[in-house]
Structure 1
Amino acid sequence: MIGSVLISKSQPKPSLETWDRFALKALLVLTAILILIGYGCARYRIGIDDQISQCLPPYRWYLIDTFDRDIQRDQLIAFRATDAMAPYFRREQTIIKRVAGMPGDQVAVTADGTLINGIMQPQSDPALAKALGLSVADFLVGSLTIHDGFLWVMGATRDSFDSRYWGVLPNSQVIGRAYALF
């Protein structure tokens, strides 16, 4: 039998990283993670609709992008409530509604519903006025033109407390674009 010679080459030991080098890498990774978390917290907010009667069913949870202020028709936006929105919303409360009217649009609120540029909006009859014990005449009856710097916002239900009751929304109150989550 031919003998085999086993030649052993010593394997180089993996070099162990020094504690200082490891700590520096860990600190850099942790810093990057904290920066990303900080950016996410500065840009995004979570909105939760806790109302009994929702104005944008079936959604209750929303993601609000505070950096996206490029407002388009039919998108959801988040904005701050004013004193004119009492008693349903308290001042500075975050509200989410659909942009129904843009600058230049003609709006008419009637007992039959809300027309924007002559098109009747779904679920737009002012049913909430009756529930509040008020007449439609107490609100925006007739027509108006939305001026630059303002929006007309609405919910998706007949009893949504929206621009039909408190008028146009100044763009300065917009927090950002909202996305329905679930």
Structure 2
Amino acid sequence: MSVYLAVFRRGLHGRGVCALQCRDIDPNTRTLRIRSNRSTEDRDSKIGIPKTSRSVRGERIPSQLVPLLDHFLKRHVPSTDTAWLFPAAHNPKDPIHPNGLRGMYAKARTTVGRDDLKFHDLRHTGLTWMALDGATVRELMDSAGHADADTAMRYQHAIDERHTVLAEKLGERLFPDETRKHCKRR
């Protein structure tokens, strides 16, 4: 479930995934509230505020993710509001440490033969997909919790791949089917 959340909730770092509690999910409005991060300082420190105030936000949960999330919550998470979505293995009253999450992800990526992938690549993938789907820089900034446009611009590289598609669409408008047929006859 952490992988899906990291991709579909594009702005969610591993630290943010670790800090999620049941109360952060509203299935009625399909909203995930991002309001804290799991500290990486040491094992004893737990939850802190995100790096920037823009990082505290609500994100829409894709409808495709709702049934998986519902199944996950019913099967793996106690129904209390303060229960961690991903509790620490040694003490379920504590959230998982980002290193623990990365360790589980490392096992999974090795299983599928993709040792080159990092957990942060999931965030990058989600934001890149948004850019490909036409998200503006402002939308990327909001989804990622970025405070400046320069940071969000790194996901715009995906737009470069669309230039060919856009050129073809422009050509179709400039030269509708009838014109192309006429050109072929010559």
Shorter-chain TM-score: what band?
Answer: under 0.3
Larger Rg: 1
Higher helix share: 2
Higher strand share: 1
TM-score for the superposition, normalised by structure 2: 0.20
TM-score for the superposition, normalised by structure 1: 0.20
